[in-house]
């Protein structure tokens, strides 16, 4: 995932935190809707929704969604699952790997 500078993050975080605090917890459908609108915003050149997007821009946005999903899994879901394996034991056939010392 391409990281942005701390200065860029600080500028975004201030505005985004205010919005998220105002909204509170979201239902999954609301979260997906916001992500969809962000994609429309990006492909339309910053909110001009009647301007048709080109394939290159659409493809870039889809790539961003894919990168976000992978980074979220790597940084959040994976470590959560690793702790669950330690807490609950692994599933076959992987549990046999640990028994054999592999």
In this prediction, residue 3 carries a pLDDT of: 80
In this prediction, residue 87 carries a pLDDT of: 94
Q: Is 1 contained in some domain?
A: no
**Structural domain count of the chain:** 1
Question: How many CB atoms lie under 10 A from the CB of residue 39?
Answer: 17
Range of the domain at 82: 6-99
In this prediction, residue 46 carries a pLDDT of: 79
Q: Which residues of the chain have pLDDT under 70?
A: 1-2, 47-52, 96-102
In this prediction, residue 92 carries a pLDDT of: 79
Q: How many CA atoms lie within 13 A of 21 on its CB side?
A: 6
Q: Is 51 contained in some domain?
A: yes
């Amino acid at each position: 995932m391409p990281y942005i500078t701390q200065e860029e993050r600080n500028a975004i975080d201030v505005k985004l935190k205010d919005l998220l605090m105002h909204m509170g917890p979201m239902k999954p459908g609301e979260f997906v809707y916001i992500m969809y609108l962000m994609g429309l915003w990006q492909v339309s050149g910053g909110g001009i929704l009647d301007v048709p997007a080109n394939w290159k821009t659409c493809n870039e946005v889809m790539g961003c969604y894919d990168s976000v999903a992978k980074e979220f899994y790597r940084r959040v879901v994976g470590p959560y699952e690793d702790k669950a394996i330690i807490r609950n034991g692994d599933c076959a056939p992987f549990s046999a790997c640990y028994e054999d010392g592999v």
